[in-house]
Structure 1
Amino acid sequence: MPKVSISSFPVSGLFGVVKPTGPTSMSIVNDLQQLIARSKLFVDAEKLEKIKGKKIDRKRGKFGKEGVKVGQGGTLDPLADGVLVIGVGRGTKKLNEFLNCTKEYRTTCLLGCETDTYDSEGSRVRVAPWRHVTRDRVESNLTTFTGQIKQVPPIFSALKMDGKPLYEYARKGIPLPRPIEARDVTVHSLSVTEWLGSQHPYTWPDKELSSEEKQALEAALKGVEEGAKVADELEPIPANFEDEKPSAFVMSMKVSGGTYVRCIVHDLSHAVGSAGHVVTLTRARQGRFVLASKEDEDRECIPWEVFERALSDVGEQDDEGWTEWERQVMEHLEVV
């Protein structure tokens, strides 16, 4: 792959960032743009002169007319962390290839509770028995979700049906005109890597759908599923188990582009006779960009802390005029 040389500046390219849990992908891009727009690595001297002396303002979002184009190759929700591919300049034209590439994830499922978003950021839809679920029971159901499978996106999503977002049907109690179309995806591998049992810090969300919201969801689902019901399936609490935590487990998977990790967790929880939702989600690989290198062509990502420090204080330049974050990018950059 092309290497950065002194005579090649400014450049366009791709590099990976380790996104932390919390911020949105777009906020990461906007913050990076503040740094990139002030770097001779990506911007020519004439443009740099125009913005000389302007301070970084992270509240402004996109830098403006002087800023070089920056984009990302596949959104991670605030809950999720891990690999986020960044394109700069002509590199943004290469970002589409990362939407359908092979990806690897690690995720933690918390049993006994289903949410509208299929993760801990959402509201509780229903609770279900979970004490009967064992590691063996989960693992015996993994083959159902491995290989070429069909996934049905959640009804609480922005996907549209007849011009209306699915979540609008669910929230307003409008019957779906037809079933949500299943999507073909490929799960190359799927395994339980750790059974946490009750030894974990996770809890069910405090937010809960109201009775009216549950009735609206039922009405929407009855358009395609006769007798659809949204209700808790409570189980008796054994003596001395009032403070018992629901079981959780960690899975690793390698999947094709377009795969809903949350759907795998949701559907697998149903398959074992329970309910479940995602409480942690890490993207460990997106194409050739990885958290930990396994193959020669892999490109490791830069920790977000490197850029966070630069946004607060860009720091001292070395003998060649580069700051810490620029050196890190140069070491990991794929020039386009």
Structure 2
Amino acid sequence: MPKDEQAGPLSGLFGVVKPSGPTSMSLVNDVKKLVANSPLFVEKSKLAQKAKSGKKGKFRRDAVKIGQGGTLDPLADGVLVIGVGKGTKKLSDFLDCVKEYRTTCLLGCETDTYDSEGKQVRLAPWHHVTREQVEKTLEQFKGEIEQIPPIFSALKMDGMPLYEYARKGIPLPRPIEKRKVTVHELELVEWLGSDHSFRFPEKKFTKEEQEALQKTLKSVDSSTSIEDQPDQEVPPEKAPTAFVLRMKVSGGTYVRSIVHDLAHTLGSAGHVVTLTRSRQGAFTLEPKEEGDRACVPWEVFQSALADEGDVDGEGRRRWEKEVLAKMEVV
């Protein structure tokens, strides 16, 4: 980057490698604590004002704009695009861009959230599912497909989130509207079988919660059943089948729904136990093509939050150098 561009304040976009666990917004807020005190992104006069106030460790929330270009669930890890200053105006571009994911599906159990963070909804047989069967069935989910968003999602129907209908047992006014999405690539990259440590979630629905969900689901499909059908032909201590998928999809695609629907098509039930976003637009975990941009490991920011450390000969701290090396200046 030219030295005159390094004078600041800068605006731009950069990718962060989000770890599994924290929310996306908690990470953005933590990054802001550093960005809002950096001469790279904030006018020197504003920083001088802060220093004059004597409020050490505090930062002005209005010192700089910051946001993210597509939330990742707490369970998920991988690419999280962050925009600073004028870069925030370009974050909407990342909602509709092509994204790549790697996800692990665990068969035999369906959950309300379609992932391991939720509660068990029903159990289903899984031992009959083979690798060859999965690979053949994946063909049905490639290209332009229609998805039904999860019933336990924040999407609203007549002003109320879908999850509220499900929790309270309120019949849906109409079926959930299908969404057209494009699955550009979808492949089975690893067959784990029972050689893994994943297990079904311990959280379960109470009888009342199960009845409420059943009532809501039957309001749009009378054939729906969420009764358990545990696999009777395998010992309970044996881990259910798990496998890993890699996919490249259009914006708006529910990865959890692909796993959920795939398991249904296989005559089983399933949910997501790991989810990694490996690419979002040009930002990627593994740069391979011209124009690809690497992401800043979260540990870089985590370390700086504990101790920003010394500046180098150019007046840069380690986290600032890492961001400068990987940032798209706007």
State whether TM-score is above 0.5. Answer: yes
Distance in 2 (CA, whole Å) between partners of 1:169 and 1:212 is: 14
Q: How does 1:43-192 map to 2 (within 5 A)?
A: 43-52=42-51, 54-56=55-57, 63-192=59-188
Q: Return the offset for 1:93.
A: 0.3
3, 22, 32: which is aligned to 1:5? 3
Instruction: Check if 1:242 corresponds to 2:236.
Output: yes
5+ long unaligned stretches in structure 2 = none
Distance in 2 (CA, whole Å) between partners of 1:64 and 1:231 is: 53
Root-mean-square deviation (CA, aligned residues, Å) is 1.3
Q: Per-residue displacement from partner, 1:95-127 (whole Å, max 9, x unpaired)?
A: 000000000000000110000000000000001
Distance in 1 (CA, whole Å) between partners of 2:34 and 2:164 is: 39
Amino acid across the alignment from 1:208: K
Instruction: Give the structure 1 partner of residue 295 of structure 2.
Output: 301
Distance in 2 (CA, whole Å) between partners of 1:87 and 1:178 is: 38
Q: Return the offset for 1:320.
A: 1.1
Instruction: Check if 1:283 corresponds to 2:277.
Output: yes
Instruction: Check if 1:261 corresponds to 2:255.
Output: yes
Q: Return the offset for 1:66.
A: 4.4
Instruction: Give the structure 1 partner of residue 16 of structure 2.
Output: 17
Report the 3-state secondary structure (helix = DSSP H, G, I; strand = E; otherwise coil) of the residue aligned with 1:149.
strand
Q: Per-residue displacement from partner, 1:154-174 (whole Å, max 9, x unpaired)?
A: 111111111111111111111
Report the 3-state secondary structure (helix = DSSP H, G, I; strand = E; otherwise coil) of the residue aligned with 2:197.
coil
Pick which of 227-236 and 167-176 moved more: 227-236
Distance in 1 (CA, whole Å) between partners of 2:50 and 2:199 is: 48
Amino acid across the alignment from 1:315: G
Instruction: Give the structure 1 partner of residue 192 of structure 2.
Output: 196
Distance in 2 (CA, whole Å) between partners of 1:5 and 1:17 is: 24
Q: Per-residue displacement from partner, 1:51-79 (whole Å, max 9, x unpaired)?
A: 2264446xxxxx54443111000000110
Q: Is the 8 A contact 1:33 1:67 kept in 2?
A: no
Instruction: Give the structure 1 partner of residue 37 of structure 2.
Output: 38
Instruction: Check if 1:314 corresponds to 2:308.
Output: yes
5+ long unaligned stretches in structure 1 = 58-62
Q: Per-residue displacement from partner, 1:171-204 (whole Å, max 9, x unpaired)?
A: 1111112110000000000000000011111110
How many residues in Structure 1 have an aligned counterpart in Structure 2? 327
Q: Is the 8 A contact 2:68 2:83 kept in 1?
A: yes
Q: Is the 8 A contact 1:118 1:266 kept in 2?
A: yes
Q: Is the 8 A contact 1:114 1:127 kept in 2?
A: yes
- List structure 1 segments (4+ residues) > 3 angstroms apart after TM superposition: 53-57, 63-66
User: CA distance change for structure 1 residues 66 and 227 in 2, over 3 Å: closer, same or farther?
Assistant: closer
